[in-house]
Chains A and B, each alone.
Chain A
């Protein structure tokens, strides 16, 4: 379902974020993407939604070559991927409810369905009481959960979560991981970039370890190797 073939990324400032990365993820997988800060996790995610272009190599999502996607195909392509952005990317000028509703309006959901589903999403991430709060009135953890609610609102076949527990206390973090796990159990492919060793170790899922832009380990039922730190 998702394939990176010999992907390298050199940013404009000359920093090599990825060199010759090969990753193959099947539909329905649950994958942890781990590695120290600056290893290139977010870079991979940005490549997957065509926010940035690889310097070389090919990227396939749903057997579509992302690098040759036409400009007007991009929005429709992105709708297949729900993303929990590391930097949240909530619309600052509308409240929590409208942020989630917006993602559904984008894909043409009837407003009746939106009114039904947004409260459901909010209760899934335990934020029903904050529906009318604006992003700048929320804590980091709360914003993170809004982003998750938005990412899953349209039931995308692929869900990518970049540090979705980064701002959460361990209990809430586990709630989120359990939610991701449940979503994955219903068939969604889930990729989660994280530093949370306890979670990775406990889940026994596939773990891809990145270091300085290269994949140094890729194991089914893997653990967070200590040498990564």
Chain B
């Protein structure tokens, strides 16, 4: 590529878009649709996988301590827990904490604790431990079970297993669907660009007849494809963000337990895939489809 021509190629690339407004618009619209579909699935999949992941990690190992466990042993256990692999959060629940929690949950009707105080009650002290991943549950539970001073180690492994399988399944499904949609998006974009190039095949032939080299003709088309891909991906991202904002607004009122991925985080992940797909497919689409018309 001759350096002095770069300016010309870029200018021509943009000129091409404006000279063929209807064609460019059609191309941009179909790119927006294709990429919007892709982006929606990505964002949806991210959220589902995130929600299940949240549920998973909210499963806690609860270690109930015997009332007669000496403070020193508790301190020992505490530091062991904090250094144990796979544990991300350790919370000590004192008798007073347990008492508060109970009252919070059952309110004043709680006849069971009638006459007891925060310091003196039959609720056991405990540790609530959050795991990095459910797969650490076995090793953590085994290490603690039956230890001196520990009354009981509680963990709901069935739910964890189910969630674990679910999250794996969702991730794979999501990956496959995204893969398929990616292919569809690329095909749509390349086809659109091909039509746009086809409409200008005469122009390409004429350029060849007056002595233009292939690359001289190709570069503006490639830049045009890239710019159209870029416009299409930016528009589809804007649309996606708008709709995601809107959906979160509506849904979070109904599903207030569920934590959605913040719009910007979701967009960041979708953005990379969408922009790369749009631009690369635009470039390759024009480069490939122009080839046959250059052979004169």
Binding site for B on A (CB under 8 A): 49, 51, 71-72, 74-79, 83, 85, 89-94, 102-103, 105-108, 110-111, 150
Binding site for A on B (CB under 8 A): 2, 4-5, 8, 15, 19-20, 200, 202-203, 206-214, 216, 295-296
With both beta carbons as reference points, the residue of chain B lying nearest to A79 in the complex is identified as: B211
Out of A51, A93, A103, name the residue touching B296 (CB < 8 Å).
A51
A78–B209 CB distance below 8 A:
yes
Contacts of B202 in A (CB 8 A): 92
B20–A103 CB distance below 8 A:
no
A75–B208 CB distance below 8 A:
yes
Kindly state the separation between the CA atoms of A94 and B202 in the bound complex, as whole angstroms: 13
Contacts of A102 in B (CB 8 A): 207, 210
Kindly state the separation between the CA atoms of A85 and B208 in the bound complex, as whole angstroms: 13
Kindly state the separation between the CA atoms of A108 and B212 in the bound complex, as whole angstroms: 10
Main SS of chain B's interface residues? helix
A75–B203 CB distance below 8 A:
no
Report A163 CB to chain B, min CB distance, Å.
17
Contacts of B208 in A (CB 8 A): 74-75, 78
Out of A75, A83, A89, name the residue touching B213 (CB < 8 Å).
A75
Contacts of B203 in A (CB 8 A): 91-93
Contacts of B8 in A (CB 8 A): 105, 111
A75–B296 CB distance below 8 A:
no
Q: Can you show 29 pairs from A to B with CB atoms below 8 A apart?
A: A49-B209, A51-B209, A72-B214, A75-B212, A75-B216, A76-B213, A78-B208, A78-B209, A78-B210, A78-B211, A83-B209, A83-B210, A89-B206, A89-B210, A90-B206, A91-B206, A92-B202, A92-B203, A93-B19, A93-B203, A94-B19, A103-B210, A103-B211, A105-B8, A106-B207, A106-B210, A106-B212, A108-B5, A110-B4
Out of B4, B15, B216, name the residue touching A106 (CB < 8 Å).
B216
B296–A108 CB distance below 8 A:
no
Known: A51-B296, A93-B203, A108-B5. A76 touches B210 (CB 8 A): no
With both beta carbons as reference points, the residue of chain B lying nearest to A88 in the complex is identified as: B206
B20–A75 CB distance below 8 A:
no
Kindly state the separation between the CA atoms of A71 and B295 in the bound complex, as whole angstroms: 8
Report A87 CB to chain B, min CB distance, Å.
10
Beyond A75-B216, A106-B210, 19 extra complex contacts between A and B, CB < 8 Å: A51-B296, A72-B214, A77-B211, A78-B209, A78-B211, A83-B209, A83-B210, A85-B209, A89-B210, A90-B206, A91-B203, A94-B15, A102-B210, A105-B5, A106-B213, A106-B216, A108-B2, A110-B4, A150-B210
Kindly state the separation between the CA atoms of A89 and B5 in the bound complex, as whole angstroms: 24
With both beta carbons as reference points, the residue of chain B lying nearest to A103 in the complex is identified as: B210
Out of A71, A89, A110, name the residue touching B209 (CB < 8 Å).
A89
